[in-house]
Chains A and B, each alone.
Chain A
Amino acid sequence: MSDPGPALSAQKSWFIARARHRFAMTRECALLLPRVCAALADPRQPGSDDTCLEKLLDWFRTLTEFDPAVKLVQDNPCLTEFITSVLALPEPSPSILSFTLRLAGILAASESRFQHLQQEKLLVRLFGGDGPLSSAVWEDASVRSGWVEGVHSMMHHQPALHFLCNGGGIDVIFALQGDPSLFVASAASRLLVHMLILSVETETTKPLSAKDCDWPACAQMIIKRVEDSLQSSSASHVEQSLKLLTSLFGSCRSTWTEVLWLGIAKQIESFLTEKTVQVQHMLANLLLSMAWSPVFCDSEGSFWALVTSALEHLTPVQAGPLAVGILRLYKCPQDVRIQALTVLLQPMDCILRAASQPLEYAGLLDESVSDPATVEGLLSSKSSCAGLLCQTLAHLEELLSLIHLPVDLPYASLLRSLMTILQFCNGFLSPASPLGSTISRILINCFRVQRSALDVLAALSERKGCDTLIGSLFDVLLAYLESPNTSPTVLKKTFQATSKWLVRLHELSCSNSQWQQTEKILEDVFLVLQKRLCSPCWEVRDSSLEFLTVLIKSLRDQDEFRQSLLSSEVPRLTENLLEDPESYVRASAVTAVGHLAFITYFAPESPVIGNQYDKENTVAKLQEILSTDPEGFPRRAVITIFTKWLRQGCTGQLEDTEQFVSRVIQTVEHDLDWEVRLGGLELVEVFCSQTICQLGPPKCSYAPVSSAVTSSIHQNKSLQVFCRAKLFSFLFRSLCDCDKPVGQRACDILLALRGSFYPISTLKDSQETGDSPAGSGIAWLQRTLRQGSLAQNFPTDGGNGVDFEDPESMMLALGTIDLEELHDELNKCSDHVEKSPQSLLQDILATVGTIEENEADCY
Chain B
Amino acid sequence: MPEIKVTPLGAGQDVGRSCILVSIAGKNVMLDCGMHMGYNDDRRFPDFSYITQNGRLTDFLDCVIISHFHLDHCGALPYFSEMVGYDGPIYMTHPTKAICPILLEDYRKITVDKKGETNFFTSQMIKDCMKKVVAVHLHQTVQVDEELEIKAYYAGHVLGAAMFQIKVGCESVAYTGDYNMTPDRHLGAAWIDKCRPDLLITESTYATTIRDSKRCRERDFLKKVHETVERGGKVLIPVFALGRAQELCILLETFWERMNLKAPIYFSTGLTEKANHYYKLFITWTNQKIRKTFVQRNMFEFKHIKAFDRAFADNPGPMVVFATPGMLHAGQSLQIFRKWAGNEKNMVIMPGYCVQGTVGHKILSGQRKLEMEGRQILEVKMQVEYMSFSAHADAKGIMQLIRQAEPRNVLLVHGEAKKMEFLKQKIEQEFHVNCYMPANGETTTIFTNPSIPVDISLGLLKRETAIGLLPDAKKPKLMHGTLIMKDNSFRLVSPEQALKELGLAEHQLRFTCRVHIQDPRKEHETVLRVYNHLKGQVFPFFFYPPRNGLELIILR
Chain A residues within CB distance 8 Å of chain B? 49-52, 54-55, 94, 140-142, 180-184, 186, 285, 321, 382-383, 387, 390-391, 394, 447-448, 451, 488-489, 492, 539, 542-543, 584, 630-633, 636, 672-675, 738-741, 788, 790-793, 796, 825, 827-835, 839-840, 842-843, 846-847, 850, 853-859
B439 to chain A, nearest CB (A): 4
**22 examples of A-B residue contacts, CB within 8 angstroms:** A141-B439, A186-B50, A382-B487, A394-B59, A447-B89, A740-B113, A790-B373, A793-B313, A793-B314, A825-B374, A829-B114, A829-B116, A831-B114, A832-B373, A833-B371, A842-B367, A843-B367, A846-B367, A856-B15, A858-B205, A859-B353, A859-B390
- Given known contacts A672-B269, A857-B388, what 17 new A-B pairs fall within 8 Å (CB)? A51-B356, A142-B439, A181-B440, A321-B54, A394-B58, A489-B131, A740-B113, A740-B330, A790-B334, A791-B338, A793-B310, A825-B374, A829-B114, A830-B334, A831-B358, A843-B357, A857-B352
Interface residues of B in 447-491 (CB under 8 A from A): 487-488
Taking CB atoms and an 8 Å cut-off, the chain B residues in 1-57 that contact chain A are 7, 14-16, 36, 38-40, 43, 50, 53-56
Q: Which residues of A contact B443 (CB under 8 A)?
A: 180, 182
Asked if A181 and B357 make an inter-chain contact with CB atoms under 8 angstroms apart, the answer reads no
Bound complex: CA A802 to CA B249 (Å): 40
B220 interfacial contact with A, CB 8 Å: no
Q: Tell whether, in the assembled complex, residue B338 and residue A790 are in contact, meaning their CB atoms are under 8 Å apart.
A: yes
Q: Which residue in A741, A788, A828 is a CB contact (below 8 Å) of B376?
A: A788
Given contacts A54-B43, A387-B59, contact A630 B355 (CB under 8 A): no
Complex contacts, B366 vs chain A, CB 8 Å: 846, 850
Q: How far is the CB of A164 from chain B (nearest CB, A)?
A: 23
For A738, the chain B residues whose CB sits under 8 A away are: 310, 331-332, 335
Question: Cα distance A533–B520 when bound, in Å?
Answer: 100
Scan B68-80; emit 1 where CB is below 8 A from any A CB, else 0. 0011100000000
Complex contact A630–B419 (CB within 8 A): no
Which of B89, B339, B365, B488 is within 8 Å of A792, CB to CB?
Answer: B339
Q: What's the Cα separation between A149 and B535 when bound, in Å?
A: 72
Q: Which residue of B lies closest to A442 (CB)?
A: B487
Is A390 in contact with B14, judged by CB distance below 8 angstroms?
no
**Bound CA span A781–B43, Å:** 42
B270 contacts A51, C-beta separation under 8 Å: no
**B159 → chain A closest CB, angstroms:** 13
- Specify which chain B residues have a CB less than 8 angstroms from the CB of A788 in the assembled complex: 372-374, 376
* A857 engages B270 (CB within 8 Å): no
Q: Which of B373, B374, B376 gathers the greatest number of chain A CB atoms within 10 Å? A: B373
Is the C-beta of B435 less than 8 angstroms from some C-beta in chain A? no
Question: Which residue of chain A has the shortest Cβ distance to B157 in the bound complex?
Answer: A859
Q: Which residues of A contact B131 (CB under 8 A)?
A: 488-489, 492, 539, 542-543
| Interchain CB contact under 8 A, B16 and A50 | yes
With A853-B388, A856-B419 already in contact, the answer to whether A846 and B362 are too (CB < 8 A) is: yes
B230 within 8 A of A: no
Contacts of B416 in A (CB 8 A): 855-856
B205 neighbours in A (Cβ, 8 Å): 856-858
Contact A180:B442 (CB < 8 A) given known A285-B53, A740-B113, A788-B373 = yes
Q: How far is the CA of A793 from the CA of B127 in the complex (A)?
A: 33
| Least Cβ–Cβ distance between A670 and chain B, in angstroms | 9
Residue of B whose beta carbon sits closest to that of A740: B113
Judging by beta carbons under 8 Å apart, are B373 and A182 in contact?
no
Contacts of B304 in A (CB 8 A): none
- Are A394 and B56 neighbours in the complex by a CB distance under 8 Å? yes
How far apart sit A394 and B112, CA to CA, in the bound complex (Å)?
Answer: 33
Could you say which residues of chain B place their CB within 8 Å of the CB of A825? Answer: 373-374
Does residue B359 face the partner (Cβ distance < 8 Å to A)?
yes
In the bound complex, residues from chain B placing their C-beta under 8 Å from that of A850 are: 364-366
Inter-subunit contact A182/B441 (CB<8 Å) = yes
Report how far A55 CA is from B43 CA in the complex, Å: 11
Determine which of A184, A739, A846 lies in contact with B441 in the assembled complex, contact meaning CB atoms within 8 Å. A184
- Min CB distance, B263 to chain A, in Å? 21
Docked-complex contact B127 and A542, CB < 8 angstroms = yes
Interface string of B402-417 (1 = CB under 8 A from A): 0000000000001011
Number of residues from B at the complex interface, CB < 8 A: 88
Chain A residues whose C-beta falls within 8 Å of the C-beta of B70 in the assembled complex: 859
B317-346: contact bitstring with A at CB < 8 Å (1 yes, 0 no)?
000000000000111101100110000000
B112: contacting residue among A180, A285, A741, CB under 8 A: A741
Q: Find the A residue at minimum CB distance from B370.
A: A833
Q: Which of A52, A631, A740, A829 touches B356 (beta carbons < 8 Å)? A: A52
B221 contacts which chain A residues (CB < 8 A)?
A: none
Q: Which residues of B contact A (CB under 8 A)?
A: 7, 14-16, 36, 38-40, 43, 50, 53-56, 58-59, 70-72, 87-89, 105, 109, 112-116, 123, 127, 130-132, 178, 205-206, 209, 243, 269-270, 273-274, 310-311, 313-314, 329-332, 334-335, 338-339, 352-353, 355-359, 361-362, 364-367, 370-374, 376, 386, 388, 390, 414, 416-417, 419, 439-443, 487-488
Set of chain A residues within 8 Å of B414, measured between Cβ atoms: 858
- The answer to whether B113 and A182 have CB atoms under 8 Å apart is no
For residue B113, give the distance in angstroms from its CB to the closest CB of chain A: 5
A285's nearest neighbour on chain B, judged by CB, is B54
Pairwise interchain contact B374-A183, C-beta atoms closer than 8 A: no
A840 near B356: Cβ-Cβ < 8 Å: yes
Interfacial chain B residues near A853, Cβ < 8 Å: 388
- Shortest beta-carbon distance from B522 to chain A in Å: 53
Which residues from B are CB-within-8-Å of A833? 370-373
> How far is it, in angstroms, between the C-alpha of A492 and the C-alpha of B131 when the chains are bound?
9
B416 to chain A: closest residue by CB: A856
Q: What is the chain A residue whose CB lies nearest that of B358?
A: A834
CB distance from B194 to the nearest CB of A (A): 29
In the assembled complex, which residues on chain B have CB atoms less than 8 Å from the CB atom of A791? 338, 376
Bound complex: CA A451 to CA B361 (Å): 45
Contact B365 A843 (CB under 8 A): yes
Q: How far is the CB of A732 from chain B (nearest CB, A)?
A: 16
CB distance from A437 to the nearest CB of B (A): 14
Q: Please give, as numbers and ranges, the residues of chain B lying within 8 Å of A542 by CB-CB distance.
A: 127, 131
Nearest A residue to B314 by beta-carbon distance?
Answer: A793
Q: Which residues of B contact A382 (CB under 8 A)?
A: 487-488
Closest 4 CB pairs of A and B: A51-B38, A183-B441, A846-B365, A672-B270
A186 to B440 alpha-carbon distance, docked (Å): 13
Q: Which residues of B contact A391 (CB under 8 A)?
A: 55-56, 59
**Chain B nearest Cβ from A226, distance in angstroms:** 19
A502 to B371, CA, bound (A): 59
Chain A residues whose CB sits within 8 angstroms of the CB of B373 once the complex forms = 788, 790, 825, 828, 832-833
Provide the bound-state CA to CA distance between A51 and B355, in Å. Answer: 8
In the complex, the answer to whether B59 meets A390 with C-beta atoms within 8 Å is yes
Q: A674 to B330, alpha carbons, bound, how many Å?
A: 13
Contacts of A390 in B (CB 8 A): 56, 58-59
Q: Are A451 and B116 in contact (CB under 8 A)?
A: no
- Establish whether residues A793 and B311, one from each chain, have CB atoms under 8 Å apart when the complex forms: yes
Q: Which of A52, A672, A788 has most B Cβ within 10 Å? A: A672
Determine the chain A residues whose CB is within 8 A of the CB of B362 once the complex forms. 834, 839, 842-843, 846
Residue in A closest to B332 when the chains form the complex, CB atoms: A738
A670's nearest neighbour on chain B, judged by CB, is B309
Q: Which of chain A's residues have a CB closer than 8 A to the CB of B357?
A: 51, 55, 831, 834-835, 839-840, 843
Centre residue among B334, B353, B443 by max chain A CB count within 10 A: B353
| Shortest CB distance B14–A (Å) | 7
Q: In the bound complex, what is the Cα–Cα distance between A74 and B66 (angstroms)?
A: 51
Tell me if A831 and B367 are in contact (CB < 8 A). Answer: no
Q: Which residues of B contact A739 (CB under 8 A)?
A: 109, 113, 331
Distance in angstroms between the alpha carbons of A857 and B269 in the assembled complex: 25
Residue of A nearest to B386 (CB): A854
Q: Please name all residues of chain B whose beta carbon is closer than 8 Å to the beta carbon of A636 when the two chains form the complex.
A: 123
| Chain B hits for A855, CB < 8 A | 416
Please report the C-alpha to C-alpha distance between residue A840 and residue B361 in the assembled complex, in whole angstroms: 11
Question: Does B87 contact A451, Cβ atoms closer than 8 Å?
Answer: yes
With A825-B373, A831-B330: A182-B7 Cβ-Cβ less than 8 Å: yes
Q: Which residues of B contact A840 (CB under 8 A)?
A: 356-357
